[in-house]
A and B are shown apart, each in its own frame.
Chain A
Amino acid sequence: MTVVMSKHSGTASARLRADYMRIKRDPVPYVTAEPLPSNILEWHYVVEGPEESPYEGGYYHGKLVFPMEYPFRPPSIYMITPSGRFKTNTRLCLSISDFHPDTWNPAWSVATILTGLLSFMLEKSPTFGSIETTDYEKRQLSQQSLSFNLKDKVFTELFPEITEAIQNKLAQREQELAERAKALENGNPSERDASTNDSRKQNPDAAQMSALTNLLVVVGFAVFAWTVRYIVSTLSEEEG
Chain B
Amino acid sequence: MFSDIKAGDTTPTHNHSSVRDWIVGDACTIHYTVMEQQHNAQESPTKPSEYDPDINQDELIKAQEKQIAEEIKANTAMIGSLDDLSTLEQEYSNDPVYSGKVKTLLPKYCNVRRTRPDGNCFLRGFIFAYLEYCIHHRDELARFKKYLEGSKEELFEMGFPKFTTEDFHDMFMEVVSDLEGSGSVDRVEAVCNDGGTSDYLVVYLRLLISSHLQKNAEFFSFFIEGGRTVEEFCKQEVEPMYRECDHLHIVALTAAVGVGVRVMYLDRGEGAAVASHDFPEDSTPVIHLLYRPGHYDILYNKA
Give the CA-CA distance A103 to B191 in the complex, in Å.
Answer: 27
Give the CA-CA distance A72 to B239 in the complex, in Å.
Answer: 11
Assess the B178–A5 pair: CB atoms within 8 A. yes
- Given A3-B191, A4-B194, are A10 and B171 also a contact pair (CB < 8 Å)? yes
Partner of B240, one of A9, A98, A103, A109: A103
Q: Which residue of B lies closest to A111 (CB)?
A: B163
- Given A3-B194, A6-B174, are A107 and B164 also a contact pair (CB < 8 Å)? yes
Chain A residues positioned under 8 Å from B190 (CB to CB): 1-3
Which of A102, A104, A112 is the most central at the interface, judged by chain B CB atoms within 10 Å of its CB? A102
Chain A residues positioned under 8 Å from B239 (CB to CB): 105-107
Partner of B195, one of A10, A22, A71, A104: A10
Q: Which of B155-190 contact A (CB under 8 A)?
A: 160-161, 163-165, 167-168, 170-171, 174-175, 178, 190
Give the CA-CA distance A107 to B168 in the complex, in Å.
Answer: 8
Q: Which of A51-81 contact B (CB under 8 A)?
A: 71-73
Give the CA-CA distance A102 to B37 in the complex, in Å.
Answer: 14
How many of chain B's residues touch chain A, expressed as a range? 20 to 34
Min Cβ gap A116→B in Å is: 12
B109 contacts partner chain A, Cβ-Cβ < 8 Å = no
- Given A3-B191, A22-B163, are A103 and B168 also a contact pair (CB < 8 Å)? no
A27 contacts partner chain B, Cβ-Cβ < 8 Å = no
Assess the B161–A5 pair: CB atoms within 8 A. no
- Given A106-B241, A107-B165, A109-B161, are A3 and B1 also a contact pair (CB < 8 Å)? no
- Given A5-B197, A8-B167, A10-B199, are A103 and B236 also a contact pair (CB < 8 Å)? yes
Min Cβ gap A92→B in Å is: 13
B58 contacts partner chain A, Cβ-Cβ < 8 Å = yes
Partner of A109, one of B164, B197, B200: B164
B103 contacts partner chain A, Cβ-Cβ < 8 Å = no
Give the CA-CA distance A72 to B69 in the complex, in Å.
Answer: 13
Assess the A102–B164 pair: CB atoms within 8 A. no
Task: Contacts A5-B197, A93-B58, A106-B240 known; list 12 others, CB within 8 Å.
Answer: A6-B174, A10-B197, A10-B199, A101-B242, A102-B1, A103-B235, A105-B239, A106-B241, A107-B164, A107-B207, A107-B239, A108-B161
Assess the A9–B164 pair: CB atoms within 8 A. no
